[in-house]
């Protein structure tokens, strides 16, 4: 594309190249904006609306010092028109010899629903020889309301850029295509990411009764709240993954499958001595379980050995202590 764009520029001619590369400031009716526009070339056509003048010269002759206004079209749930001034919008400060482009929002919606509408605006002109679009893009969303219903570029391109036989913008015997993209900013959504190291109710203990008769592949505890988040513990009595048939597997899970960074301690409690089996977890949830834990937490041999003190009266006690975790909090 770089070579194609370079070739196109030389064909336009040096006097037009200066005008094409110049960047004007957008203006709203009765208001001059300080934000510059960015100009570039692209292959993709306008996504919102375009106008093809079958004979540009005839349109300019008929319009004279006025403007051509498109049929109404919709974008973002609002109705718009595209206004093209072949000899400039002199009422808004267009320099003689320049073309102006504007868009206008239908203000009837503001009668029953007063509001500010913000939209990203791009203006286009089609290069009929190289099949690419000259694009003028506003760097910030433009605000429209009942008092500011129009916005545009007073000094868009020189009238010399629209002369048949001397410009890539006039092609196929006098045709010219201009276009516009209007992308309305929808409802603004955001979140706050934080890391809580002062977790309330950090410890939860789960008493698993009738442990020797458990026959399901896995069991999940009741939901518990820690740090104002809901969690569960999940245990595989006969192991999971690489721990299958050799280990008990133990995981901490977010009840709502939230993707948090968690720091916690998992324990299988020794009910005779204080020699608990303790393992730390810290990080994002693993892909297999979407939780935090270990496939090889404690051997089944240790659990089955009553002298070890992990299963007493056919009850196993597992515990978690959540010391920190990240939060994604939506903000309305």
User: Do the strands 315-331 and 98-105 form a parallel or antiparallel pair, or are they unpaired?
Assistant: unpaired
- Cβ neighbour number for residue 287 with a 10 Å cutoff: 6
- Separation of first and last alpha carbons in the chain: 43
Question: Which of 46-50, 71-75, 99-103, 165-169 comes out lowest in average pLDDT?
Answer: 165-169
Q: Where are the alpha helices (DSSP H) in the chain?
A: 2-12, 14-21, 56-63, 109-112, 300-304
Tokens of 192: 């706050």
Residue 197, pLDDT > 60, answer yes
Is the pTM higher than 0.75?
no
> Quick one: CA torsion of 109, 110, 116, 119, rounded to 10 degrees?
30
Task: Delineate the domains of the chain, giving CATH numbers in brackets.
Answer: 2-187 (2.60.210.10), 192-331 (2.60.210.10)
Answer for the pair 256, 245: CB distance below 8 angstroms, yes or no: no
- pLDDT band with cut points at 50, 70 and 90 for residue 183: very high
φ, ψ dihedrals at 76, nearest 5°: 65, 20
Give the three-class secondary structure for 228: coil
Q: Model confidence over 236-272: pLDDT tens digits?
A: 999 999 999 999 999 999 998 888 999 999 999 999 9
Can you tell me the mean pLDDT for 221-233? 96
- How crowded is residue 315: how many other Cβ atoms within 10 Å of its Cβ? 14
Cβ atoms 323, 199 nearer than 8 A: yes
Q: How is residue 236 written in tokens? A: 């595989």
Cα 206 off chain centre by: 41
CA distance 222 to 62: 78
Place of tokens 């002369």: 163
Q: What is the pLDDT of residue 9?
A: 36
**Gyration radius (Cα) of the chain, Å:** 34
Dump pLDDT digits (tens) for 261-317.
Answer: 999 999 999 999 989 999 999 999 986 677 999 999 999 999 999 999 999 999 999
Reading the block at residue 19, the tokens are 């005008």
Mean pLDDT of 221-231: 95
Mean per-residue pLDDT, 17-24: 40
Residue 37 is predicted with a pLDDT of 57
Residue 8 has pLDDT above 60, yes or no: no
Average pLDDT value over all residues in the chain: 88
pLDDT tens figures, 133-177: 999 998 889 999 999 999 999 999 999 999 998 899 999 999 999
Q: What is the pLDDT of residue 4?
A: 37
Residue % of the chain over a pLDDT of 90: 75
Q: What is the pLDDT of residue 24?
A: 45
pLDDT, mean of residues 129-136: 96
Count CB-CB contacts under 10 A for residue 27.
21
Whether the predicted pLDDT of 99 surpasses 90:
yes
* % residues pLDDT > 70 (the chain): 88
- Cβ-count burial 153-188 (b if 16+ within 10 Å, e if not): bbbbbbbbbbeeeebbbbbeeebbbbbbbbebeeee
Question: Using 50, 70 and 90 to split pLDDT, how confident is the model at 111?
Answer: confident
- Greater confidence (122 vs 328) lies with 122
pLDDT given for residue 38 in this prediction: 74
Q: Region 8-19: what's the mean pLDDT?
A: 36
Is the pLDDT at 16 greater than 50? The verdict is no
């Amino acid at each position: 594309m770089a070579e194609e764009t370079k070739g196109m520029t030389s064909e336009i001619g040096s006097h037009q190249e200066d005008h094409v590369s110049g960047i004007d400031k957008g203006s709203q009716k009765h208001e001059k904006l300080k934000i510059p526009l960015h100009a570039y070339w692209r292959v993709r056509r306008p996504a919102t609306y375009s106008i093809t003048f079958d004979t540009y010269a005839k349109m300019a002759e008929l319009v004279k010092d006025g403007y051509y206004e498109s049929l109404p079209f919709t974008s973002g749930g609002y109705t718009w028109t595209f206004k093209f001034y072949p000899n400039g919008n002199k009422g808004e400060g267009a320099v003689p010899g320049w073309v102006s482009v504007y868009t206008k929002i239908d203000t009837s919606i503001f009668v029953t629903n007063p509001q500010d509408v913000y939209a990203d605006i791009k203006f286009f002109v089609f290069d009929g020889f190289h099949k690419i679009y000259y694009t003028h893009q506003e760097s910030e969303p433009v605000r429209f309301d009942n008092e500011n219903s129009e916005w545009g570029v007073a000094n868009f391109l020189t009238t010399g850029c629209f002369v048949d036989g001397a410009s890539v913008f006039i092609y196929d015997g006098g045709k010219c295509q201009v276009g516009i993209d209007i992308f309305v900013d929808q409802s603004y959504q955001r979140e706050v990411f934080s890391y809580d190291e002062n977790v309330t109710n950090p410890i939860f203990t789960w008493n698993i009764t009738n442990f020797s008769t458990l026959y399901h592949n896995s069991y999940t505890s009741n939901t518990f709240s820690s740090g104002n988040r809901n969690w569960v513990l999940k245990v595989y009595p006969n192991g999971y993954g690489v721990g299958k048939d050799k280990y008990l597997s133990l995981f901490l899970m977010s009840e709502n499958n939230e993707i948090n960074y968690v720091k916690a301690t998992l324990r299988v409690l020794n009910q005779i001595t204080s020699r608990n089996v303790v393992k730390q977890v810290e990080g994002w949830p693993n892909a297999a379980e979407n939780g935090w834990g270990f496939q090889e937490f404690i051997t089944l041999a240790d659990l089955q050995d009553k002298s070890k003190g992990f299963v007493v009266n056919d009850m196993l006690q597992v515990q978690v202590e959540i010391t920190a975790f990240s939060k994604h909090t939506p903000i309305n």
